[in-house]
C-alpha cells in the first residue's frame, strides 16, 4: 500500500471512530487519497460540492445543527483559502469543524510548483488548533501518530469548553490513488476500545450564586447553551426573558418579544433598570438592548469557556461558567409590568403589520407562525433575523438558526442546505436577494448528492434593504449605486437554471400554500425597500404612542 492511501484510510477511519458521520468534499487532485477513502467508507455520509466556499458553509451548517464535528476536505492551493470565511464564522460562533487541507510535500513548496501556496497556519487565529500532519512514511509508529492526532483534533474541535474549527494540513506524495497492494509495515487498525485514546475533560467549577432578587432579567443571544434550564430558572424567579429568535429562549409566559421597541422608549428603559442581568450567548441584534445593557449595575455573562466570553457592550461585572438563579420572595409587580408593556407593544406592532400588506417584517412574523412544529428556520444575517427579532411572537416547537458569529451574508444558502441535511424534519430559510445571489453555487447539488428538504424563502427588494434603515439612506445621490446596489436579476431564471421548483408570493395570504412541497425549492416574495423602511418607523412610533396611552 502506498503511504498516501495508508494515511488517508487511517484518517477517515479514526474520524468515524471519534463520532464523525459527515464529510464534505470539494474535488481536486492532491486530495484524491482522502476523497477515495471517504467514498469507500460506508459509515460516512459524503457530500460533494464543486465550489470550495459552498462546501465549507455546507459543513458549517451540518456541524451547527448536529452539534458534532464535520470533516471538510479540499485540495492544495487557493482551494484552501476559499474555506477561510466559513472557518472564521465557525470560530466566532463556536461550531466544530475539522478542516483537512491536502498539500504538496515539502520538496515542492516554494518552487513555483503548480497549485502550491503556503498553507501552514493558513487560517491564523481563527482555528482552535493547527497541526502539520507531515508526509506519511512506511515505518512503524505512524499509525499511532495519525490516530492520536485525529483524536486530539476531534476533541479540540468539539470542546468542551470552547468548540470551534481545527486545521490539519495533510501532505501527500504521489502516487495519490491505491496501487492494489494492501500490505503495510504495521496494522492500520485502532485499539479495541474504539478510538486511539479518549480525552477526559474536567467538570466546570461551581456555579455562581446570585443573591435573590425579583428585579432580574435573563437575556439570551446567539449560541447560548443550556437555555431551557436558565429559562425555567428565570420563570421560577419571576424574571422576564429577552431572547433573540436564534437564542432559543423566546417561548413561554415570561418571554418579552417586543423588547427592541420597549427599550427604545427611554421612559420605559429608565423605569425598568434591573438589579441584575444574566446574559447567555451573544446578543447583538438590537441596539436599544445593547444600550440598556451598558447601563446595568450588575451584568453577569455566562460563558462555558472563561478565556473567551461575549461582552460587546463591555459592561460585564462578572463572568461565570454557570449561574444559579434563586427563587425570590415577594410580589410579581416587576414581571407583571414587563408583560403588560409587552402586550401593549405587541398589539401596536401587529396592528401596523396587519395593515401593511406584504412587507418584510410581516413576512417574518407570519412565516414564524405558520411553520409546523419540529421545523428548522434558518435566517439571513442581515434584515431577516432583525425582522424576526422585532416581529416574531413567542412560540414553541421551532428551531431558529443564523450565522451570527461574524454576521456575514456569505455562504448562507450553503449553510442552510447543510443545516437542513442534519435536521430531522422540514427546514426553511428566510434570506434576502443579495444573500441568495452571493451564494448561488449553494443551489448546485449533483444527482448523487444527499438532498435536503429545504424551502428557501427569498425576500427580493432588488438590493440591500438594511441600508435604507441606516444613516447612509440620507445620501440620495450615491446611495442607490453604492449602498442600495440594485441587481435586476430575475430569480425565476436562477431557479430554473438550478432545476428548482419556484413560486412567487405577492399577497400574504399566499404564503402557506407556497411553502408546501418537499425537497429543495425556492419561494420569492417581492417587497419595496422604501416601504419597508416606512413600516419600521411606523412600528416604532406605534409602540411609543401605545406606551403613552
Residue reference for cell 402557506: 512
Query: Percent of the chain at pLDDT above 90?
Result: 85
Q: How far apart are CA 311 and CA 323, in angstroms?
A: 16
Look up cell 420597549; give the residue: 262
Greater model confidence, 481 or 24? 24
Superfamily of domain 3-171: Thiamin diphosphate (ThDP)-binding fold, Pyr/PP domains (3.40.50.970)
Average pLDDT, the chain: 93
Instruction: Compute the 3-state secondary structure of the chain and give helix, strand, coil in percent, each to the nearest 5.
Output: 40, 15, 40
How distant, in Å, are the alpha carbons of 38, 85, 479 from that of 47? 10, 19, 41
As a whole number, mean pLDDT of residues 292-307 equals 91
Q: What was the pLDDT predicted at 241?
A: 98
pLDDT for the residue numbered 197 = 52
Question: Phi-psi region for residue 384, left (φ > 0), alpha (ψ -120 to 50) or beta?
Answer: alpha
User: Are the C-beta atoms of residues 529 and 465 closer than 8 Å to each other?
Assistant: yes
CATH of the domain spanning 356-547: 3.40.50.970
Sketch the domain layout of the chain as residue ranges: 3-171, 208-337, 356-547
Q: At what angle do helices 84-93 and 52-66 cross, to 10 degrees?
A: 20
DSSP helix/strand/coil, 79? helix
pTM recorded for the entire structure: 0.94
d(CA 502, CA 485) in angstroms, rounded, equals 24
Neighbours of 203 (CB within 10 A): 7
Contact 445, 416 (CB under 8 A): no
Q: How far apart are CA 282 and CA 279, in angstroms?
A: 8
* Grid cell at residue 205: 467549577
- Looking at residue 214, its pLDDT comes to 86
The set of cell numbers assigned to 12 is 477517515
Instruction: Please indicate whether the domains covering 208-337 and 356-547 agree at the CATH topology level.
Output: yes
**What nine digits make up the cell of 395?**
412560540
Whether the predicted pLDDT of 471 surpasses 90: no
Q: Give me the torsion for CA of 269, 274, 277, 283, rounded to 10°.
A: -10
Q: Is 276 helix (H, G, I), strand (E, B) or coil?
A: strand
pLDDT of residue 203: 57
pLDDT tens, residue by residue, 186-230: 999 866 554 455 445 555 567 899 989 889 999 999 999 999 999
Does domain 208-337 match CATH 3.40.50.1220? yes
Quickly tell me which residue has 430569480 as its cell: 491
Residue 19 Ramachandran class (φ > 0 left, ψ -120 to 50 alpha, else beta):
left
CA distance 12 to 23: 9
Reference 46, options 83, 64, 65, 20; nearest CA is: 20
pLDDT confidence of residue 167: 98
Residue 524: pLDDT band (50, 70, 90) is very high
CA distance 31 to 131: 17
Residue 455 has pLDDT above 70, yes or no: yes
Task: Please report where in the chains the cell 409602540 appears, as a residue.
Answer: 543
Q: What is the distance between the alpha carbons of residues 339 and 159, in angstroms, rounded to a whole number?
A: 38
Q: How far apart are CA 546 and CA 341, in angstroms?
A: 9
**C-alpha distances in Å from residue 524, one per residue of 202, 509, 515:** 49, 14, 11
What is the tally of helices (H) and strands (E) in the chain?
A: 19, 19
Average pLDDT over residues 470-497: 90
Here the cell at position 281 is 450567548
pLDDT tens figures, 151-197: 999 999 998 889 999 999 999 999 999 998 989 999 998 665 544 55
12-56: pLDDT as tens digits: 999 999 999 999 999 999 999 999 999 999 999 999 999 999 999
How big is the chain, counted in residues? 549
The helix or strand, by DSSP H or E, that contains position 378, with its residue range, turns out to be: strand 375-379
Over residues 94-103, the mean pLDDT reads: 97
Amino acid at each position: 500500500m502506498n503511504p498516501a492511501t495508508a494515511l488517508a484510510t487511517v484518517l477517515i477511519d479514526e474520524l468515524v471512530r471519534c463520532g464523525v458521520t459527515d464529510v464534505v468534499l470539494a474535488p481536486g487532485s492532491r486530495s484524491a487519497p482522502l476523497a477515495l477513502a471517504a467514498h469507500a467508507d460506508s459509515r460516512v455520509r459524503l457530500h460533494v460540492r464543486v465550489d470550495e466556499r459552498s462546501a465549507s458553509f455546507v459543513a458549517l451548517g451540518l456541524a451547527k445543527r448536529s452539534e458534532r464535528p464535520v470533516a471538510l476536505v479540499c485540495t492544495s492551493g487557493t482551494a484552501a483559502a476559499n474555506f477561510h470565511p466559513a472557518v472564521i464564522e465557525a470560530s466566532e460562533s463556536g461550531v466544530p469543524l475539522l478542516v483537512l487541507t491536502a498539500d504538496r510535500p515539502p520538496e515542492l513548496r516554494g518552487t513555483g510548483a503548480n497549485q502550491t501556496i503556503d498553507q501552514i497556519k493558513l487560517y491564523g487565529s481563527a482555528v482552535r488548533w493547527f497541526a502539520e500532519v507531515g508526509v506519511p512514511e512506511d515505518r512503524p509508529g505512524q499509525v499511532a501518530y495519525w490516530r492520536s492526532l485525529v483524536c486530539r483534533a476531534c476533541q479540540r474541535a468539539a470542546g468542551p469548553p470552547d468548540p470551534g474549527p481545527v486545521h490539519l494540513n495533510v501532505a501527500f506524495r504521489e502516487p495519490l490513488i491505491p496501487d492494489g497492494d494492501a500490505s503495510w509495515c504495521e496494522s492500520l487498525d485502532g485499539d479495541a476500545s474504539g478510538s486511539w485514546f479518549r480525552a477526559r475533560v474536567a467538570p466546570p467549577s461551581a456555579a455562581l450564586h446570585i443573591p435573590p432578587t425579583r428585579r432580574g432579567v435573563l437575556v439570551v443571544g446567539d449560541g447560548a447553551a443550556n437555555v431551557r434550564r436558565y429559562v425555567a430558572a428565570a420563570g421560577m424567579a419571576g424574571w422576564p426573558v429577552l431572547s433573540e429568535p436564534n437564542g432559543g429562549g423566546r417561548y413561554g409566559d415570561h418571554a418579552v418579544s417586543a423588547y427592541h421597541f420597549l427599550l427604545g422608549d427611554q421612559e420605559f428603559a429608565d423605569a425598568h433598570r434591573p438589579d441584575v442581568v444574566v446574559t447567555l450567548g451573544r446578543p447583538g441584534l438590537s441596539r436599544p438592548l445593547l444600550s440598556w445593557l451598558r447601563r446595568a449595575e450588575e451584568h453577569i455573562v455566562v460563558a462555558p469557556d472563561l478565556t473567551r466570553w461575549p461582552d460587546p457592550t463591555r459592561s460585564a461585572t462578572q463572568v461565570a461558567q454557570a449561574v444559579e438563579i434563586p427563587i425570590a420572595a415577594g410580589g410579581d409587580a416587576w414581571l407583571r409590568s414587563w408583560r403588560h408593556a409587552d402586550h401593549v407593544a405587541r398589539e401596536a406592532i401587529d396592528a401596523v403589520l396587519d395593515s401593511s400588506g406584504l412587507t418584510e417584517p410581516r413576512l417574518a412574523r407570519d412565516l414564524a407562525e405558520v411553520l409546523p412544529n419540529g421545523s428548522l428556520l434558518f435566517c439571513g444575517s442581515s434584515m431577516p433575523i432583525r425582522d424576526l427579532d422585532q416581529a416574531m411572537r413567542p412560540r414553541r416547537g421551532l428551531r431558529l438558526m443564523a450565522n451570527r458569529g461574524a454576521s456575514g451574508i456569505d455562504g448562507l444558502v450553503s449553510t442552510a442546505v447543510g443545516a437542513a441535511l442534519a435536521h430531522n424534519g422540514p427546514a426553511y430559510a428566510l434570506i434576502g436577494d443579495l444573500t441568495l445571489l452571493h451564494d448561488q453555487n449553494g443551489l448546485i447539488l449533483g444527482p448523487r448528492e444527499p438532498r435536503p428538504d429545504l424551502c428557501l424563502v427569498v425576500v427580493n427588494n432588488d438590493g440591500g434593504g438594511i441600508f435604507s434603515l441606516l444613516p447612509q439612506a440620507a445620501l440620495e445621490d450615491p446611495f442607490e449605486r453604492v449602498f442600495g446596489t440594485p441587481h435586476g436579476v430575475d430569480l425565476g431564471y436562477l431557479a430554473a437554471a438550478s432545476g428548482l421548483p419556484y413560486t412567487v408570493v405577492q399577497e400574504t395570504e399566499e404564503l402557506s400554500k407556497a411553502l408546501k412541497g418537499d425537497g429543495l425549492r425556492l419561494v420569492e416574495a417581492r417587497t419595496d425597500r422604501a416601504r419597508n423602511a416606512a413600516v419600521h418607523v411606523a412600528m416604532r412610533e406605534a409602540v411609543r404612542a401605545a406606551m403613552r396611552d
